[in-house]
Amino acid sequence: MSRVPISTENAPAALGAYSQAIRSGSLVFVSGQLAIDPDTGVMSEKDIAEQTDRVIRNLDAVVSAAGATLADVVKTTVYLSNMNDFATMNEVYEKYFSDAAPARAAVEVSRLPKDALIEIDAILVIPS
């Protein structure tokens, strides 16, 4: 099966040796997105609600570049630097994933790149 990289200028460029996303067949694996503004390259302020919103908008930009929508996302993983931010993150998350929300895991990690408060990755299925 082929592996096709997906990229867009509407989301932050990769910070290392990885693709924004990889398509393999009808599956797309989106790399973890941080709260970096793709226009300025600057991290959003240190507020979990603002960072969650920016992260999901970045995720949506990569998903769109794959020819899909957030409704096509079947699984996300949310990485939080502080699990006390879960409720606030969830309020913002629900605005984007309300109907048939994807399966999800949320874990607390000791540190994220650029000292972000949140990172989200996703798996989606391209509609046939």
Q: End-to-end CA distance of the chain: give it in Å, rounded.
A: 17
Q: Where do runs of H (alpha helix) occur along the chain?
A: 48-65, 86-96
Q: For residue 55, with 0-12 CB atoms within 10 Å meaning exposed, 13-18 middle and 19 or more buried, which class applies?
A: buried
Domain boundaries, the chain: 4-125
CA dihedral angle for residue 2, residue 25, residue 15, residue 51, rounded to 10 degrees: 180
How many angstroms separate the Cα of 62 from the Cα of each of 39, 117, 122? 15, 20, 10
Predicted TM-score (pTM) of this structure: 0.95
pLDDT over 80 at 1, yes or no: no
pLDDT on residue 14: 85
As a whole number of angstroms, the distance between CA 109 and CA 69 comes to 28
pLDDT over 90 at 98, yes or no: no
The CATH number of domain 4-125, selected from 3.30.1330.40, 3.30.1450.10, 3.40.50.720, 3.40.50.11540: 3.30.1330.40
pLDDT on residue 5: 97
As a whole number of angstroms, the distance between CA 93 and CA 15 comes to 24
pLDDT over 90 at 45, yes or no: no
pLDDT on residue 30: 98
Q: Determine what percent of the chain is predicted with pLDDT higher than 90.
A: 88
pLDDT on residue 21: 98
